Amino acid sequence: MHVIRGIRGTFQPFWVTLRNMFRKPVTIQYPEEKQQLPERYRARLILTRDPDGAERCVACHLCSAACPVDCISMQAAEAEDGRRYGAWFRINFTRCIFCGLCTEACPTLAIQVTADFELAGRDPLKLVYEKEDLLVDHCGNNNSYNFYRQSGIGVAAPRGTNPGETPPADVKDLMP
Amino acid sequence: MSEMLVTLALILGKLLFIFGVVLFMAAYLVLAERKILGRMQLRYGPNRVGPFGLMQPLADVIKLLTKEDFVPARADKWLFLIAPGITAVTALLVFAVIPFGPTLEIFGRQVPLVVVDLNIGVLYFLGVSSMAVYGVVLGGWASNSKYSLLGGVRGLSQMVSYELSLGLSLVPVIMMARSFSLTDIVMAQQSIPFMLLNPVAFGVFFICVLAESNRIPFDLPEAENELVGGFHTEYSGMRFGLFFVGEYINMVVLGSLVTVFFLGGWHGPWLPPLLWFLFKVLAVCAMFIWIRASMPRLRYDQLMNLGWKILLPLSLVNILVTGAVLLGLG
Ligand code: SF4
Ligand code: SF4
């Protein structure tokens, strides 16, 4: 039995390789053919806007803290109405490993991934994306979420008027 | 005087012809191997440079030539520099005794299609081909790297375990042809190739040739997965290229030797002799590639076992049997 198995094991591979030779290769010829990417593929990052068209990012630094390779940096600033935003916001794509941890950390759904993976270039400095390059004109994968409608006291709406909130209790009133 | 000049010119012509053809074949064998291997693994292989990737060898040469020629610190410089040359040159030298066609009549002169028809061609081949291992061993030793050294040591012990059977498997051929000259050996196979007359010797010789070529399943000195690159780990640029080309020249040469010793050389029906020779050599090379695609690498001790415990006794018994049969036939 041993011998028969050995002999079969020696000659079977030859048959397998011969058969494979006349099959169609599974290679996708990249620049001409493109791969069908999964819907939730992680590649180039974008900064989205909320449904009202304002920047979502509140420059909370959570994404840069979550980033394992420290490739996000920003400077926070505050507008007249108390709304925070990034004075500048920079992602160094030569370092980004496209892990998507920043998008998970983001409380405002501002930073999101796209399926655009064709980022290669000869000049590394061209891969350092500034805020203008990152900011897009749509809401990304969530069309309804607006951070300041859920939180951010008194910036977009007076206290207690957001959906799901109750107005603050009047401490000078004895009524329940 | 003029007679001598003509002879010299003829030899030079043949040399250039062989040199050109062998190098060309070696270059395109690399491409063929990569393509066939790719198809067998459901890939395309190189297909970007030129139509169907046919300019790939040129691109490879340009790449290798423009790379840095790196010598590791504390390497044994001179040995390190000449080792790749030894591999390539010895492989080419063997081709001097290989007859690739019948004697031609040109302007009333007999022109044998072999550079030199040595009457001890077989011994010459055995001697020169064992020199080839010096390239591996010296390269491995001189690199001053553990991986290279291990590769070199493996190359040496591998050589020791198959070279004996290689020589012994040729003894029946010599007995049947009654000559050490490669031309005579081919002539003796006019009617029926030795592969059919003595399949055992053919099998042993083929396995030994695989080991001699340092290819899978006997590529222990290289063993990318264990030894990084084995004896050529530290080599770069055209020196690595020489090792690489040497391996493929070796493939062509060993293919020719299998053809000469066992497949009947240039003999064959209908087609011109040169074409037959080329066809047979390419068939052996294709077999090498197919084996590479299909087989795993043997372990070190398995190779030793195979060499000493199976191939050696087998070829010894084969010599006895062949001798007895030849004696019986008169
Ligand atoms: S995807 Fe990962 S590596 Fe890239 S910026 Fe986000 S957290 Fe950093
Ligand atoms: S992108 Fe998100 S996590 Fe990063 S600073 Fe802006 S709001 Fe915070």
pLDDT above 80 (res A158): no
**A175 belongs to a structural domain:** no
Specify the pLDDT at position B193. Answer: 83
Domain containing A89: what range?
A: 41-150
CA distances from B313 to B168, B200, B306 (A): 10, 12, 10
Mean residue pLDDT across chain A: 87
Which H/E stretch holds residue B102?
Answer: strand B101-106
Specify the pLDDT at position B1. Answer: 66
Question: What is the residue whose two structure tokens read 């990569």?
Answer: B34
**A166 belongs to a structural domain:** no
Specify the pLDDT at position B222. Answer: 81
Among the bound ligands, name the one nearest to the CA of residue A74.
2
Nearest to A13 among B36, B39, B295 (CB): B295
Give percent of chain B with pLDDT exceeding 70.
99
Specify the pLDDT at position B65. Answer: 87
Specify the pLDDT at position B245. Answer: 85
Q: Which of the four pLDDT bands, split at 50, 70 and 90, describes residue A39? A: confident
Q: Residues B264, B193: contact at Cβ < 8 Å?
A: yes
Query: Of B46, B45, B43, which Cα lies nearest the Cα of B59?
Result: B46
Q: Which of the four pLDDT bands, split at 50, 70 and 90, describes residue A130? A: very high
Q: Which of the four pLDDT bands, split at 50, 70 and 90, describes residue A98? A: very high
State the Cα–Cα distance between residues B80 and B68, nearest whole angstrom.
15
State the Cα–Cα distance between residues B176 and B171, nearest whole angstrom.
9
CA distances from A102 to A65, A85, A95, A138, B29 (A): 8, 17, 14, 19, 50
Specify the pLDDT at position A112. Answer: 92
Q: Estimate the crossing angle of helix B121-142 against helix B146-177, to 10 degrees.
A: 180
Question: What is the residue whose two structure tokens read 């490739």?
Answer: A71
Specify the pLDDT at position B112. Answer: 73
Q: For chain A, how many structural domains are there in total?
A: 1
**A3 belongs to a structural domain:** no
pLDDT above 90 (res A2): no
pLDDT per position as a tens digit, B192-246? 888 888 888 888 999 888 888 888 788 887 877 888 777 888 888 888 888 888 8
**DSSP at A135:** B
State the Cα–Cα distance between residues B310 and B2, nearest whole angstrom.
55
State the CATH number of the domain containing residue A128. Answer: 3.30.70.3270
Q: Residues B158, B173: contact at Cβ < 8 Å?
A: no
Tell me whether residues B44 and A25 touch, CB distance under 8 A. Answer: yes
Measured from the CB, is residue A98 less than 6 Å from ligand 1? yes
State the Cα–Cα distance between residues A72 and A64, nearest whole angstrom.
5
pLDDT above 70 (res A32): yes
Q: Mutate which of A47, A62, A104 to test ligand 2's pocket (most atoms within 8 Å of Cβ)?
A: A62
Measured from the CB, is residue A119 less than 6 Å from ligand 2? no
pLDDT above 90 (res A160): no
Mean residue pLDDT across chain B: 84
pLDDT per position as a tens digit, B90-145? 888 888 888 887 777 777 677 777 777 778 888 888 888 888 888 888 888 888 88
DSSP one-letter string for B272-291: -HHHHHHHHHHHHHHHHHHH
**A157 belongs to a structural domain:** no
**A32 belongs to a structural domain:** no
Output the pTM of the full model: 0.78
- ipTM of this complex: 0.75
Measured from the CB, is residue A101 less than 6 Å from ligand 1? yes
